[in-house]
Amino acid sequence: EDKVVQSPLSLVVHEGDTVTLNCSYEVTNFRSLLWYKQEKKAPTFLFMLTSSGIEKKSGRLSSILDKKELFSILNITATQTGDSAIYLCAVAGNTGKLIFGQGTTLQVKP
């Protein structure tokens, strides 16, 4: 059965810290892995990764995929209180549907 597991489930840090969020997966006919940020409302798209070893970067956020070991990490450097959110990892197989992990709740304290 396809599944996505994220760790840790929750994390509390202080502003300025660097955090690493983990996502491991098992999926039939892997096509891509996506990261979303969910604050109070809709999940918003962060990254889509399809190839191993190629880092995607957006400001203080970066992510990389390892298709051999079946995992991805999301790094946030110099965290700010505005980074507080649930970070969702999802994997797409060839059916078009996204399988989501249970999310990591990040709280950044001032």
Partner 1 sequence: DTAVSQTPKYLVTQMGNDKSIKCEQNLGHDTMYWYKQDSKKFLKIMFSYNNKELIINETVPNRFSPKSPDKAHLNLHINSLELGDSAVYFCASSQDVRASEQYFGPGTRLTVT
Nearer Cβ to partner 1 (57/97): 97
Amino acid at 20: T
In 1-102, the DSSP E strands lie at 3-7, 10-14, 19-26, 32-38, 43-49, 56-58, 61-66, 71-76, 85-92, 98-100
- Nearest-approach distance from CB 92 to partner 1, in angstroms: 4
Which of these ranges, 11-19, 38-46, 51-59, 60-68, lies near partner 1 under the rule CB under 8 A?
38-46
Is residue 3 at the binding interface for partner 1, with CB under 8 A as the rule? no
Q: Are 8 and 104 in contact (CB under 8 A)?
A: yes
Residue 63 CA to residue 10 CA, distance in Å, equals 18
Closer of 15 and 66 to partner 1 (Cβ): 66
82 binds partner 1 per the rule CB under 8 A:
no
* 88 makes contact with partner 1 (CB under 8 A): yes
Smallest gap, in angstroms, from Cβ of residue 94 to partner 1?
A: 9
Task: Please name which of 47, 58, 59, 57 lies closest in space to residue 90, comparing C-alpha atoms.
Answer: 47
List the one residue from 27, 34, 64, 76 that touches partner 1 (CB under 8 A): 34
